[in-house]
Structure 1
Amino acid sequence: MIEIIAISGSLRAASTNAALLAALAANAPADCRIQVYDGLGRLPIFNPDDEGERTPAEAARLIEAVTRADGVIISCPEYAHGVPGGMKNALDWLVSRDAAVGKPAMLVHASPRSLYARAALAEIMRTMSFALYEETALEIALLGKKPTEMGAILAEDANRQAMREAVRGFAEFIRGQ
Protein backbone atom coordinates (compact mmCIF):
# COMPACT_ATOMS: atom_id res chain seq x y z
CA MET A 1 0.00 0.00 0.00
CA ILE A 2 1.39 3.41 -1.03
CA GLU A 3 0.76 5.96 1.75
CA ILE A 4 0.47 9.57 0.58
CA ILE A 5 -0.05 12.74 2.59
CA ALA A 6 -1.89 15.55 0.79
CA ILE A 7 -1.55 19.17 1.89
CA SER A 8 -3.73 22.05 0.80
CA GLY A 9 -2.06 25.45 0.86
CA SER A 10 -5.41 27.11 1.50
CA LEU A 11 -7.13 27.72 4.84
CA ARG A 12 -10.52 28.63 3.31
CA ALA A 13 -13.49 26.57 4.44
CA ALA A 14 -14.67 26.21 0.82
CA SER A 15 -11.16 25.78 -0.59
CA THR A 16 -10.94 24.56 -4.16
CA ASN A 17 -7.52 23.08 -3.34
CA ALA A 18 -8.86 21.13 -0.36
CA ALA A 19 -11.80 19.92 -2.48
CA LEU A 20 -9.40 18.68 -5.16
CA LEU A 21 -7.32 16.80 -2.58
CA ALA A 22 -10.41 15.24 -0.98
CA ALA A 23 -11.53 14.10 -4.43
CA LEU A 24 -8.06 12.68 -5.11
CA ALA A 25 -8.28 10.71 -1.86
CA ALA A 26 -11.74 9.42 -2.77
CA ASN A 27 -10.65 8.40 -6.28
CA ALA A 28 -7.22 6.97 -5.47
CA PRO A 29 -6.35 3.58 -6.95
CA ALA A 30 -6.90 0.63 -4.60
CA ASP A 31 -3.17 0.32 -3.84
CA CYS A 32 -2.87 3.96 -2.66
CA ARG A 33 -4.18 5.64 0.46
CA ILE A 34 -4.23 9.45 0.55
CA GLN A 35 -4.51 11.14 3.95
CA VAL A 36 -5.35 14.86 3.78
CA TYR A 37 -3.40 16.88 6.36
CA ASP A 38 -5.70 19.27 8.22
CA GLY A 39 -3.33 21.14 10.53
CA LEU A 40 -1.99 23.93 8.32
CA GLY A 41 -3.89 26.64 10.22
CA ARG A 42 -2.69 25.32 13.59
CA LEU A 43 1.02 25.44 12.77
CA PRO A 44 2.87 28.13 14.71
CA ILE A 45 5.11 30.44 12.72
CA PHE A 46 8.41 28.68 12.10
CA ASN A 47 11.22 29.66 14.44
CA PRO A 48 14.51 27.71 14.33
CA ASP A 49 14.80 28.26 18.10
CA ASP A 50 11.74 26.01 18.51
CA GLU A 51 13.23 22.94 16.84
CA GLY A 52 14.41 19.78 18.56
CA GLU A 53 12.93 19.25 22.02
CA ARG A 54 10.98 22.49 21.67
CA THR A 55 9.20 21.52 18.43
CA PRO A 56 5.51 22.45 18.84
CA ALA A 57 3.06 19.52 18.76
CA GLU A 58 1.40 20.44 15.44
CA ALA A 59 4.77 20.93 13.74
CA ALA A 60 5.90 17.54 15.11
CA ARG A 61 2.69 15.98 13.74
CA LEU A 62 3.36 17.42 10.27
CA ILE A 63 7.01 16.33 10.32
CA GLU A 64 6.05 12.80 11.41
CA ALA A 65 3.30 12.55 8.79
CA VAL A 66 5.64 13.60 5.97
CA THR A 67 8.40 11.33 7.28
CA ARG A 68 6.08 8.28 7.41
CA ALA A 69 4.43 8.94 4.04
CA ASP A 70 5.72 7.38 0.85
CA GLY A 71 4.89 10.59 -1.01
CA VAL A 72 3.41 14.08 -0.71
CA ILE A 73 0.78 15.79 -2.88
CA ILE A 74 0.32 19.55 -2.61
CA SER A 75 -2.45 21.70 -4.04
CA CYS A 76 -1.83 25.37 -3.42
CA PRO A 77 -3.45 28.66 -4.38
CA GLU A 78 -1.55 31.73 -5.48
CA TYR A 79 -1.70 34.90 -3.42
CA ALA A 80 -0.19 38.07 -4.92
CA HIS A 81 1.91 35.99 -7.34
CA GLY A 82 3.34 33.88 -4.52
CA VAL A 83 2.98 30.88 -2.26
CA PRO A 84 0.59 31.57 0.64
CA GLY A 85 2.31 32.13 3.98
CA GLY A 86 0.70 29.10 5.63
CA MET A 87 2.07 26.74 2.96
CA LYS A 88 5.53 28.27 3.08
CA ASN A 89 5.45 28.06 6.88
CA ALA A 90 4.65 24.32 6.70
CA LEU A 91 7.58 23.78 4.36
CA ASP A 92 9.83 25.82 6.65
CA TRP A 93 9.10 23.36 9.48
CA LEU A 94 10.51 20.62 7.22
CA VAL A 95 13.61 22.47 6.02
CA SER A 96 16.13 21.27 8.60
CA ARG A 97 14.70 17.74 8.81
CA ASP A 98 15.31 14.71 6.65
CA ALA A 99 11.56 14.37 6.00
CA ALA A 100 11.77 16.13 2.63
CA VAL A 101 15.08 14.75 1.39
CA GLY A 102 14.35 12.49 -1.54
CA LYS A 103 10.64 12.39 -0.66
CA PRO A 104 8.54 11.99 -3.81
CA ALA A 105 6.18 14.94 -4.25
CA MET A 106 3.57 15.97 -6.80
CA LEU A 107 1.87 19.32 -7.31
CA VAL A 108 -1.77 19.41 -8.44
CA HIS A 109 -3.74 22.50 -9.35
CA ALA A 110 -7.30 23.76 -8.89
CA SER A 111 -6.72 26.96 -10.85
CA PRO A 112 -5.16 27.66 -14.24
CA ARG A 113 -4.05 31.08 -12.92
CA SER A 114 -1.57 29.96 -10.27
CA LEU A 115 1.47 30.00 -12.55
CA TYR A 116 3.74 32.13 -10.34
CA ALA A 117 2.99 30.11 -7.21
CA ARG A 118 3.49 26.85 -9.11
CA ALA A 119 6.96 27.89 -10.21
CA ALA A 120 7.87 29.27 -6.78
CA LEU A 121 6.58 26.19 -4.96
CA ALA A 122 8.43 23.84 -7.31
CA GLU A 123 11.64 25.82 -6.77
CA ILE A 124 11.24 25.78 -2.98
CA MET A 125 10.58 22.04 -3.00
CA ARG A 126 13.51 21.26 -5.31
CA THR A 127 15.77 23.33 -3.06
CA MET A 128 14.54 21.28 -0.08
CA SER A 129 15.48 18.11 -2.03
CA PHE A 130 11.96 16.78 -2.60
CA ALA A 131 11.92 14.43 -5.62
CA LEU A 132 9.33 16.22 -7.75
CA TYR A 133 7.15 14.14 -10.04
CA GLU A 134 6.56 16.35 -13.04
CA GLU A 135 5.45 13.85 -15.69
CA THR A 136 1.73 14.52 -15.44
CA ALA A 137 0.40 17.83 -14.23
CA LEU A 138 -3.12 17.42 -12.89
CA GLU A 139 -5.19 20.56 -13.22
CA ILE A 140 -8.93 20.64 -12.67
CA ALA A 141 -10.23 24.20 -12.93
CA LEU A 142 -12.34 24.92 -9.86
CA LEU A 143 -11.53 28.62 -9.42
CA GLY A 144 -14.57 30.65 -8.42
CA LYS A 145 -16.86 27.63 -8.08
CA LYS A 146 -19.26 27.09 -5.20
CA PRO A 147 -18.97 23.79 -3.25
CA THR A 148 -21.89 22.18 -5.13
CA GLU A 149 -20.34 23.18 -8.47
CA MET A 150 -16.95 21.84 -7.35
CA GLY A 151 -18.56 18.56 -6.35
CA ALA A 152 -20.22 18.20 -9.74
CA ILE A 153 -17.00 18.98 -11.63
CA LEU A 154 -14.95 16.58 -9.50
CA ALA A 155 -17.55 13.83 -9.97
CA GLU A 156 -17.37 13.97 -13.78
CA ASP A 157 -16.09 10.67 -15.17
CA ALA A 158 -13.27 12.33 -17.12
CA ASN A 159 -12.03 14.17 -14.04
CA ARG A 160 -12.29 11.08 -11.83
CA GLN A 161 -10.28 9.16 -14.42
CA ALA A 162 -7.70 11.99 -14.65
CA MET A 163 -7.30 11.93 -10.85
CA ARG A 164 -6.85 8.14 -10.78
CA GLU A 165 -4.31 8.28 -13.60
CA ALA A 166 -2.35 11.11 -11.93
CA VAL A 167 -2.16 9.21 -8.63
CA ARG A 168 -1.34 5.96 -10.44
CA GLY A 169 1.54 7.66 -12.25
CA PHE A 170 2.74 9.21 -9.01
CA ALA A 171 2.60 5.81 -7.28
CA GLU A 172 4.78 4.33 -10.05
CA PHE A 173 7.22 7.22 -9.59
CA ILE A 174 7.31 6.50 -5.83
CA ARG A 175 7.98 2.79 -6.45
CA GLY A 176 10.87 3.74 -8.76
CA GLN A 177 12.60 5.91 -6.16
Structure 2
Amino acid sequence: MNIVAISGRTRQQSTNTVLLMAIKAASPNGIAIAVFDGIGSLTKFRPDLEGPSLPDRVQVFIRLIAHNDGLLISSPEYIRDIPGGLKNAIDWLVCGGQIIGKPIALAHASHRGDHMLVALRKVLSAFSSNFNEALFFRLPVMMETPEAIQEILKVADNRQRVEAFLRDFMSFWQNQLGSQPP
Protein backbone atom coordinates (compact mmCIF):
# COMPACT_ATOMS: atom_id res chain seq x y z
CA MET A 1 0.00 0.00 0.00
CA ASN A 2 1.25 3.48 -0.91
CA ILE A 3 0.08 6.26 1.39
CA VAL A 4 0.38 10.02 1.06
CA ALA A 5 0.71 11.58 4.50
CA ILE A 6 -0.33 15.23 4.62
CA SER A 7 0.76 17.54 7.38
CA GLY A 8 -1.86 20.17 8.12
CA ARG A 9 0.73 22.60 9.39
CA THR A 10 2.76 25.02 7.28
CA ARG A 11 5.45 25.74 9.90
CA GLN A 12 8.92 24.28 9.35
CA GLN A 13 9.60 21.42 11.78
CA SER A 14 5.92 21.11 12.61
CA THR A 15 5.16 18.49 15.23
CA ASN A 16 2.60 16.98 12.83
CA THR A 17 5.14 16.74 10.02
CA VAL A 18 7.71 15.20 12.35
CA LEU A 19 5.10 12.73 13.62
CA LEU A 20 4.30 11.69 10.04
CA MET A 21 8.02 11.27 9.29
CA ALA A 22 8.36 9.09 12.40
CA ILE A 23 5.31 7.03 11.34
CA LYS A 24 6.93 6.63 7.93
CA ALA A 25 10.14 5.39 9.55
CA ALA A 26 8.17 2.88 11.65
CA SER A 27 5.97 1.59 8.83
CA PRO A 28 5.98 -2.19 8.36
CA ASN A 29 6.86 -3.99 5.13
CA GLY A 30 4.26 -3.56 2.40
CA ILE A 31 3.44 0.02 3.37
CA ALA A 32 5.27 2.97 1.79
CA ILE A 33 4.57 6.50 2.99
CA ALA A 34 5.33 9.75 1.16
CA VAL A 35 5.05 12.78 3.44
CA PHE A 36 3.70 15.94 1.81
CA ASP A 37 4.44 19.02 3.87
CA GLY A 38 3.88 21.63 1.16
CA ILE A 39 0.30 22.74 1.73
CA GLY A 40 1.57 26.25 2.43
CA SER A 41 2.88 26.46 -1.13
CA LEU A 42 -0.47 25.63 -2.75
CA THR A 43 -2.24 28.47 -4.51
CA LYS A 44 -5.42 29.59 -2.81
CA PHE A 45 -8.30 27.57 -4.23
CA ARG A 46 -10.30 29.35 -6.91
CA PRO A 47 -12.61 27.50 -9.31
CA ASP A 48 -11.39 29.81 -12.09
CA LEU A 49 -8.00 28.05 -11.94
CA GLU A 50 -9.35 24.56 -12.56
CA GLY A 51 -8.65 22.87 -15.88
CA PRO A 52 -5.84 24.20 -18.10
CA SER A 53 -5.09 27.05 -15.67
CA LEU A 54 -4.36 24.70 -12.76
CA PRO A 55 -1.20 25.97 -11.00
CA ASP A 56 1.87 23.71 -11.34
CA ARG A 57 2.28 23.06 -7.61
CA VAL A 58 -1.41 22.08 -7.35
CA GLN A 59 -0.99 19.72 -10.32
CA VAL A 60 1.92 18.01 -8.56
CA PHE A 61 -0.11 17.71 -5.35
CA ILE A 62 -3.17 16.29 -7.14
CA ARG A 63 -1.04 13.77 -9.07
CA LEU A 64 0.58 12.66 -5.81
CA ILE A 65 -2.83 11.95 -4.30
CA ALA A 66 -4.15 10.30 -7.46
CA HIS A 67 -1.18 7.91 -7.78
CA ASN A 68 -1.30 6.61 -4.20
CA ASP A 69 -3.64 4.18 -2.53
CA GLY A 70 -4.60 6.07 0.60
CA LEU A 71 -4.32 9.31 2.52
CA LEU A 72 -3.15 9.93 6.09
CA ILE A 73 -3.72 13.39 7.55
CA SER A 74 -2.15 14.81 10.70
CA SER A 75 -3.06 18.37 11.63
CA PRO A 76 -3.09 20.74 14.56
CA GLU A 77 -6.12 22.68 15.65
CA TYR A 78 -6.21 26.35 14.71
CA ILE A 79 -8.74 28.48 16.59
CA ARG A 80 -10.78 25.32 17.27
CA ASP A 81 -10.97 24.48 13.57
CA ILE A 82 -9.15 23.08 10.54
CA PRO A 83 -6.10 25.21 9.64
CA GLY A 84 -6.65 27.26 6.48
CA GLY A 85 -3.82 25.61 4.54
CA LEU A 86 -5.26 22.13 5.07
CA LYS A 87 -8.78 23.26 4.19
CA ASN A 88 -7.37 24.84 1.01
CA ALA A 89 -5.60 21.57 0.10
CA ILE A 90 -8.82 19.62 0.65
CA ASP A 91 -10.73 22.10 -1.53
CA TRP A 92 -8.30 21.45 -4.39
CA LEU A 93 -8.70 17.70 -3.99
CA VAL A 94 -12.48 17.76 -3.86
CA CYS A 95 -12.80 19.86 -7.01
CA GLY A 96 -10.74 17.34 -9.00
CA GLY A 97 -12.30 14.23 -7.52
CA GLN A 98 -8.98 12.48 -6.82
CA ILE A 99 -9.78 12.06 -3.14
CA ILE A 100 -13.34 10.82 -3.56
CA GLY A 101 -13.43 7.15 -2.59
CA LYS A 102 -9.77 7.17 -1.47
CA PRO A 103 -9.23 5.47 1.91
CA ILE A 104 -8.43 8.14 4.51
CA ALA A 105 -7.16 7.89 8.09
CA LEU A 106 -6.13 10.44 10.71
CA ALA A 107 -3.17 10.84 13.05
CA HIS A 108 -2.85 13.49 15.73
CA ALA A 109 0.18 14.76 17.64
CA SER A 110 -1.59 16.36 20.60
CA HIS A 111 -3.69 15.51 23.62
CA ARG A 112 -6.01 18.34 22.60
CA GLY A 113 -7.49 19.53 19.32
CA ASP A 114 -10.74 17.62 19.44
CA HIS A 115 -12.73 20.52 17.94
CA MET A 116 -10.56 20.40 14.81
CA LEU A 117 -10.84 16.63 14.65
CA VAL A 118 -14.65 16.84 14.75
CA ALA A 119 -14.63 19.44 11.96
CA LEU A 120 -12.11 17.49 9.86
CA ARG A 121 -14.06 14.25 10.26
CA LYS A 122 -17.23 16.04 9.17
CA VAL A 123 -15.53 17.45 6.04
CA LEU A 124 -13.84 14.17 5.11
CA SER A 125 -16.96 12.06 5.59
CA ALA A 126 -18.92 14.48 3.38
CA PHE A 127 -16.98 13.55 0.25
CA SER A 128 -15.35 10.19 0.86
CA SER A 129 -17.23 7.00 1.55
CA ASN A 130 -13.86 5.48 2.44
CA PHE A 131 -13.03 7.78 5.32
CA ASN A 132 -12.88 5.55 8.37
CA GLU A 133 -13.20 7.40 11.69
CA ALA A 134 -11.98 4.33 13.55
CA LEU A 135 -8.60 4.55 11.82
CA PHE A 136 -7.04 7.05 14.18
CA PHE A 137 -3.57 7.23 15.69
CA ARG A 138 -2.96 9.70 18.50
CA LEU A 139 0.42 10.24 20.10
CA PRO A 140 0.62 13.36 22.27
CA VAL A 141 4.09 14.67 21.41
CA MET A 142 3.30 18.38 21.26
CA MET A 143 6.27 20.49 22.38
CA GLU A 144 8.73 17.62 21.84
CA THR A 145 11.78 18.09 19.63
CA PRO A 146 11.93 16.23 16.31
CA GLU A 147 14.65 14.00 17.76
CA ALA A 148 12.53 13.21 20.83
CA ILE A 149 9.53 12.32 18.65
CA GLN A 150 11.68 9.91 16.63
CA GLU A 151 12.89 8.32 19.88
CA ILE A 152 9.36 8.11 21.32
CA LEU A 153 8.25 6.15 18.27
CA LYS A 154 11.20 3.79 18.63
CA VAL A 155 9.85 2.64 22.01
CA ALA A 156 8.51 -0.87 21.43
CA ASP A 157 4.93 -0.17 22.58
CA ASN A 158 4.64 2.96 20.43
CA ARG A 159 6.20 1.30 17.40
CA GLN A 160 3.78 -1.61 17.76
CA ARG A 161 0.86 0.84 17.94
CA VAL A 162 2.04 2.52 14.71
CA GLU A 163 2.48 -0.82 12.97
CA ALA A 164 -0.98 -2.02 14.09
CA PHE A 165 -2.55 1.26 12.97
CA LEU A 166 -0.93 1.03 9.53
CA ARG A 167 -1.82 -2.65 9.15
CA ASP A 168 -5.43 -1.82 10.02
CA PHE A 169 -5.34 0.93 7.39
CA MET A 170 -3.96 -1.52 4.82
CA SER A 171 -6.65 -4.10 5.71
CA PHE A 172 -9.33 -1.45 5.30
CA TRP A 173 -7.89 -0.51 1.89
CA GLN A 174 -7.75 -4.15 0.78
CA ASN A 175 -11.34 -4.70 1.89
CA GLN A 176 -12.40 -1.63 -0.08
CA LEU A 177 -10.61 -2.94 -3.17
CA GLY A 178 -12.34 -6.30 -2.78
CA SER A 179 -15.77 -4.69 -2.50
CA GLN A 180 -15.45 -2.57 -5.66
CA PRO A 181 -17.25 -3.80 -8.76
CA PRO A 182 -14.92 -5.14 -11.51
**Deviation sequence 1:27-67 (CA, Å, 0-9, x none):** 11111101111321210111110000000011111111111
Superposed, 1:8-157 pairs within 5 Å as: 8-129=7-128, 131-157=130-156
Q: TM-score, normalised by structure 2?
A: 0.92
Q: Percent identity?
A: 38
Alignment partner of 1:45: what SS?
coil
**Deviation sequence 1:11-36 (CA, Å, 0-9, x none):** 12221111111111111111110111
Structure 1 stretch displaced more, 89-98 or 146-155: 146-155
Checking the alignment, whether the CA contact within 8 Å between 1:75 and 1:109 is kept in structure 2 is yes
State the alpha-carbon separation in 1 of the partners of residues 135 and 41 from structure 2: 31
State the alpha-carbon separation in 1 of the partners of residues 61 and 126 from structure 2: 19
Aligned length, in residue pairs:
176
Checking the alignment, whether the CA contact within 8 Å between 2:17 and 2:37 is kept in structure 1 is no
Alignment partner of 1:78: what SS?
coil
Checking the alignment, whether the CA contact within 8 Å between 1:63 and 1:94 is kept in structure 2 is yes
State the alpha-carbon separation in 2 of the partners of residues 103 and 131 from structure 1: 6
Gaps of 5+ in 1: none
State the alpha-carbon separation in 1 of the partners of residues 93 and 135 from structure 2: 25
Checking the alignment, whether the CA contact within 8 Å between 1:100 and 1:130 is kept in structure 2 is no
- The letter of the residue matching 2:63 is E
Checking the alignment, whether the CA contact within 8 Å between 2:40 and 2:85 is kept in structure 1 is yes
State the alpha-carbon separation in 1 of the partners of residues 103 and 54 from structure 2: 24
State the alpha-carbon separation in 1 of the partners of residues 125 and 56 from structure 2: 26
- The letter of the residue matching 2:162 is M
Checking the alignment, whether the CA contact within 8 Å between 1:108 and 1:138 is kept in structure 2 is yes
**Deviation sequence 1:142-167 (CA, Å, 0-9, x none):** 11222233232222111111111100
Q: 1:173 corresponds to which residue? A: 172
Offset at residue 136 of structure 1 (A):
3.9
Checking the alignment, whether the CA contact within 8 Å between 1:40 and 1:87 is kept in structure 2 is yes
Offset at residue 129 of structure 1 (A):
2.0
